[in-house]
Amino acid sequence: MYIAKNWKEYELLDTSDGERLERWGEYILIRPDPQIIWNNVRHHPLWSKADGHYVRSQAGGGHWKINNFPEKWFLNYGDLTFNIKPMGFKHTGVFPEQAANWDWFGKLIRNSGRKISVLNLFAYTGGATIAAASNGASVCHVDASKGIVALAKENAISSGLENAPIRYIVDDCIKFCQREIRRGNKYDAIIMDPPSYGRGPGGEMWKLESNIGDFIKLCSQLLSDNPLFFLLNSYTTGLSASTMGYLLKLHLKGGKVECDELGLPVSQTGGFLPCGAAARWSAKF
């Protein structure tokens, strides 16, 4: 399991009965998590002192039952600073388990001895973007949501990376990649975190299990002659880490492929909570 163990300001305090108890800086949040199928005794004292508690509705969606927190606050990870904004669908703008991937590719970029260009697809609020940029890479950040891209720019500014070589693109990722291929553009590394389901600008249906293989094959045409890494993330339960690793082996030449679950350490129990999966291709030196 790839464990995000280097956080100082985020902590997964406890888990029980479908919920996480988390410390986000100075604020304590309780949020639902479908992976938590156990119901252990809630010994941790902060279960009863949460600043925010998101509860799901039987009709779908949910709401913050308790929201004694500001509209925004900051959370640091090393040199990176994130704008934490609890949203109406339980998310905060950061997936802390992804820090395990940031540490992995950050070391690859630093040790490459050259300028690395990164394409970050389905880039959300830019955790991977600013992690790559802070290690010296130039980044093309692509997401279909204008509002989410605006949050990514805020995270870059907060991290002192407002002048870093980051290009922000609001576009459908597949359409953008097709145009980049026609333009002859290449990248040394690709990061992608595609959704389980979605619709393209022309109403095209996207289902991860059905479309991800073809999309990896498409993106492989964007890799430079000397690629550094390819990272595929997924939170889709029907797509295992091993399946993603197999797809990378099929569509990427040479290199090394590894795959595993992403996880967070749980302070109360000493266990690890699985939080999605990742497959990593890296060049052999």
Do 175 and 258 lie in a common domain? yes
Q: Which pLDDT score, from 0 to 100, does residue 16 have?
A: 96
Do 117 and 211 lie in a common domain? yes
Q: Which pLDDT score, from 0 to 100, does residue 255 have?
A: 94
Do 107 and 218 lie in a common domain? yes
Do 152 and 263 lie in a common domain? yes
Distance CA 10, CA 75 (A): 8
Mean pLDDT to the nearest integer, 158-178: 96
Mean pLDDT to the nearest integer, 153-177: 97
Please state the domain count of the chain. Answer: 2
How, if at all, do strands 2-3 and 10-16 pair?
unpaired
Residue 206 tokens, joined: 């996207």
Instruction: Quote the Cα angle for 56-57-63, to 5°.
Output: 60
- Residue 285 clears pLDDT 60, i.e. is over it: no
Q: Which pLDDT score, from 0 to 100, does residue 21 have?
A: 98
Mean pLDDT to the nearest integer, 32-44: 92
Residue type, 74: F
Q: Which pLDDT score, from 0 to 100, does residue 202 have?
A: 63
How, if at all, do strands 117-121 and 62-67 pair?
unpaired
How many Å from the N-terminal Cα to the C-terminal Cα in the chain? 24
- Which tens digit of pLDDT belongs to each residue from 60-97? 789 999 999 999 999 999 999 999 999 888 999 999 99
**Residue 207 φ/ψ, nearest 5 degrees:** -125, 120
Do 50 and 113 lie in a common domain? no
Q: What is the CATH number of the domain that holds 40?
A: 2.60.40.1180
- What is the average pLDDT value for the chain, to the nearest integer? 94
Looking at residue 8, the DSSP 8-state letter turns out to be S
Which structural domain, as residue segments, surrounds residue 60?
2-71
Do 120 and 245 lie in a common domain? yes
Do 108 and 28 lie in a common domain? no
Q: Which pLDDT score, from 0 to 100, does residue 208 have?
A: 74
Residue 262 domain-assigned (yes or no): yes
Residue type, 92: T
Determine what percent of the chain is predicted with pLDDT higher than 90. Answer: 86
Do 135 and 246 lie in a common domain? yes
Q: Exposed, middle or buried by CB within 10 Å (0-12, 13-18, 19+), for 174?
A: buried
Distance CA 29, CA 22 (A): 5
- Which tens digit of pLDDT belongs to each residue from 94-134? 999 999 999 999 999 999 999 999 999 999 999 999 999 99
- Residue 186 clears pLDDT 80, i.e. is over it: yes
Q: Which pLDDT score, from 0 to 100, does residue 61 have?
A: 83
Residue type, 252: L
**Window from 38-42, 69-73, 187-191 with minimum mean pLDDT:** 38-42
- Which tens digit of pLDDT belongs to each residue from 190-249? 999 987 766 655 666 667 777 889 999 999 999 999 999 999 999 988 889 999 999 999
- Which tens digit of pLDDT belongs to each residue from 6-17? 999 999 999 999
Do 138 and 21 lie in a common domain? no
Do 101 and 218 lie in a common domain? yes
Q: Which pLDDT score, from 0 to 100, does residue 181 have?
A: 98
- Residue 40 clears pLDDT 90, i.e. is over it: no
Mean pLDDT to the nearest integer, 135-145: 96
Q: What is the CATH number of the domain that holds 197?
A: 3.40.50.150
